[in-house]
């Protein structure tokens, strides 16, 4: 009998659970603080093996120790999300030691006879793919929107003897709090804007929405129209507002990586083929120089 494991080093890893083989018991290995272990314990997993890192030692340093625990139980499926480096590091050790297949972008795993049938996005979600895996599988799951609703907690199994590899972590710079991370509404502006002076028009819209102003990377890095802590994306800020309004932004994948947590995405773009419309919930195809003042006016008259 093989076992199914969930690797947890970040709260988002818990959102992988909903995509796993329905009804299968799942054991979890947590590297993190007590709160993370406790929230894992309430997700319906069968067990929580818990490693608490020593101060100054990164969670990644316990990857081999965590892998030992998983490998001791003949894993057939080891799942996590691609969010945290430490979860990925654990999976890497497990995969090598049991020569597992490693797939990413996974949205579902089910049993098909002796094999596993895996579905997910391939080529950056350009297609939906089905893979068949016969050996052990390590799967990076595209997190579901929500973690399982908290239920009855199982007991924790602490592993105080888990030995880290020699490694140190220090916080070298706390990112300046730009207010973006916690904003309920964010207006993001891109290169569709023709001049710096026109920012005032977008600022007025942000003001009437009680929203924070953000931008794409080129506006901050190349043009310098907004401070660098205002650009959103894989290299910039991560935002998770209830509303993200993208104005004159093409919707490059690197930008969209920063708005994955947004509840509703709205796009204003003059190009009906712009990628942003594939990521948005609502869109207006039009000239931002007409649409933005119109939106501001409608909001003001409300």
Ligand X SMILES: Cc1cc2nc3c(=O)[nH]c(=O)nc-3n(C[C@H](O)[C@H](O)[C@H](O)COP(=O)(O)OP(=O)(O)OC[C@H]3O[C@@H](n4cnc5c(N)ncnc54)[C@H](O)[C@@H]3O)c2cc1C
Binding to another protein, residues 243-282 (CB under 8 A): 243, 253, 257, 263-267, 272, 277-282
For another protein, the binding residues in 143-202 under the rule CB under 8 A are 165-175, 177, 181, 185
Residue 255 interacts with which of ligand X, another protein, none, CB < 5 to 8 Å by class: ligand X
For residue 149, the partner it binds in another protein, ligand X, none, with Cβ less than 5 to 8 A by kind, is none
Q: Of the two residues 49 and 88, which places its CB atom closer to another protein in the complex?
A: 88
Q: How far apart are CA 28 and CA 26, in angstroms?
A: 6
In degrees and rounded to multiples of 5, residue 254 shows phi and psi of: -65, -30
Each residue 97-136 as x (binds ligand X by CB under 6 A) or -, in order, gives: ----------------------------------------
Contacting residue, 136, 143, 164, 236, with ligand X by CB under 6 A: 236
Stretch that binds ligand X, among 34-42, 66-74, 170-178, 254-262 (CB under 6 A): 254-262
Residues 6+ apart with CB under 8 A from 286: 268, 270
Task: Show contacts with another protein in window 7-66 (CB under 8 A).
Answer: 58, 60-61, 63
Buried b (16+ CB within 10 A) or exposed e, 108-140: bbeeeeeebebbbeeeeeeeebebebeebbbbb
Residue 155: CB partners within 8 Å, gap ≥ 6?
41, 48
Angle (deg, nearest 10), helices 288-301 and 199-209: 30
Q: What is the DSSP letter of 153?
A: P
In the complex, which residues of this chain contact ligand X (CB under 6 A)? 190-192, 216-218, 231-236, 248-250, 252, 254-255, 258, 268-271, 274, 287-289
């Amino acid at each position: 009998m093989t076992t199914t494991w969930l690797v947890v080093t970040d709260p988002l890893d818990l959102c992988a659970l909903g995509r796993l083989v329905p009804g299968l018991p799942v054991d979890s290995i947590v590297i993190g603080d007590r709160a993370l272990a406790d929230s894992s314990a309430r997700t319906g997993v069968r067990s929580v093996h818990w490693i608490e890192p020593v101060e100054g030692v990164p969670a990644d340093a316990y990857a081999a120790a965590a892998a030992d625990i998983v490998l001791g139980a003949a894993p057939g499926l080891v799942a996590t999300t691609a969010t945290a480096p430490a979860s990925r590091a654990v999976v890497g050790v497990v995969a090598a030691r049991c020569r597992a297949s490693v797939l990413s972008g996974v949205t579902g795993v089910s049993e098909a006879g002796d094999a596993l049938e895996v579905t997910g996005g391939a080529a950056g979600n350009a297609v939906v793919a089905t893979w068949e895996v016969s050996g052990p599988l390590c799967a990076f799951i595209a997190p579901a929107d929500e973690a399982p609703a908290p239920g009855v907690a199982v007991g924790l199994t602490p592993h105080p003897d888990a030995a880290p590899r020699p490694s140190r972590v220090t916080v070298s710079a706390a990112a300046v709090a730009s207010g973006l991370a916690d904003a309920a509404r964010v207006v993001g502006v891109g290169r569709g804007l023709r001049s710096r002076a026109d920012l005032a028009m977008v600022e007025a819209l942000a003001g009437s929405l009680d929203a924070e102003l953000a931008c794409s990377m080129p506006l901050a890095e190349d043009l310098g129209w907004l401070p660098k802590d205002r650009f959103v994306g894989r290299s910039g800020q991560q935002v998770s507002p209830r509303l993200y309004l993208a104005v004159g932004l093409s919707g490059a994948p690197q930008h969209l990586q920063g708005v994955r947590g947004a509840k509703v995405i709205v796009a204003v773009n003059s190009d009906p083929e712009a990628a942003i419309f594939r990521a948005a919930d609502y869109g207006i195809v039009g000239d931002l120089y007409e649409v933005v003042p119109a939106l501001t006016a409608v909001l003001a008259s409300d």
